[in-house]
Amino acid sequence: MNNAVAGFSKLSKNEKINWIAQEFFSNPEEVQNIIRNYWNSDEKLQQLHDEFIENTITNLYIPLGVAPNFLINGNYKTIPMAIEESSVVAAASKSAKYWATRGGFKATVLDTEKIGQVHFTFKGDAEKLIAFFNEIKPKFFSETQSITKNMQQRGGGIRDIQLKDKRNLLENYFQLHATFETKDSMGANFINSCLEQFAFTLKEEALKSGFEIQVIMSILSNYVPNCIVRAEVSCPVEDLTEKHISNPEDFAQRFVQAVQIAEAEPFRAVTHNKGIMNGVDAVILATGNDFRAVEAGLHAYASRNGQYSSLSHAKIENGIFTFWLEIPLALGTVGGLTSLHPLVKLCLEMLEKPSAEELMQIVAVAGLAQNFAALRSLTTTGIQEGHMKMHLNNIMNQFEANEEERHLIKTHFKKTAVSHSAVVEFIENLRK
């Protein structure tokens, strides 16, 4: 079968759907009905969603939940989380409730520096290039005034521009390495506009001075090691006691050792950090931010010392248990989807319209809470108990179990290990 198509982007939405249904499915009518069932009944709202990306045919829903009772820097927050994975919202909520009675979460933004680079090659004398750069550096600022004016009025703008010699990495390779403050916007468009002007200025001035410079590209970096937020929880070891923690000293030691394993062992660190990202990504998605950029930056940060390692840390000192993380987060609360998507606007309002720095704190806390919940389960009851409850629910939904069947299934599997085959067999026997 030839599935190539010419001029697909020029087709109407209905024409796109018809082509897909006819080309790939044995029951085209059923496929078209499924696709259209996920349209929004409000035509204007559906059009808004259609225009977020290209070649749209429908919407793929991800559940939006909330995790209440987060005490952050003395104030309670209800955190919106958009995620498809079972147990995440429940685990975050459980951690929030646990720490609310033990002083809550403390969060601090350490810095908000963003980074962008102009990548270029130069074959001449590096000392002459340095002198040339120092001479024209003021022009990078003056010739971006029209771009930076509004940002400067909000307290942001270009922090600094440096010339970096990268010939140890690639032949003739240099950079303009620029740092920015973008306040409540994530700042991608602002930074990239500045960088393109830097590149134009560099080429123009090089031409005047007889320098043979070739600009390769100008682009922001999603690695922001100086845009850092810290979140932590702490309490006396004896206060860790709860239903599954009868020996708090033993629990604290096991917990710290579990974190140390993630610090030392990359295979464990990846899964450990994935748990942190369950919390981080869910809030980022709910607030209209770019979780792919944050993921890339966080994993680079986890490797900054030459080996992939845990993003969170724990210690026991003078009888006090402390658990914390410091992570890079470049977020925005203005611009992009934050002002377009109705549910994103609702989520930001639920968070009491936070600044970018406040959102950084909330996101970091969600990541720490998720990590605490996972490690508490791993070092006490194990994670499968909670996961398998949700797995059981998913299987019952898959087989459209009625209320009576659900009651019998849940009762049976209170004392029997849950597996897909065991549940299916039990359902089939019930229905015989």
Catalytic residue check, 274? yes
Catalytic residue check, 85? yes
Residue from 49, 97, 177, 274 carrying the catalytic annotation? 274
- Is the four-CA dihedral 239, 242, 246, 248 of positive or negative sign? negative
Residue from 166, 177, 387, 410 carrying the catalytic annotation? 387
Residue from 84, 85, 212, 349 carrying the catalytic annotation? 85
Residues labelled catalytic? 85, 274, 290, 387
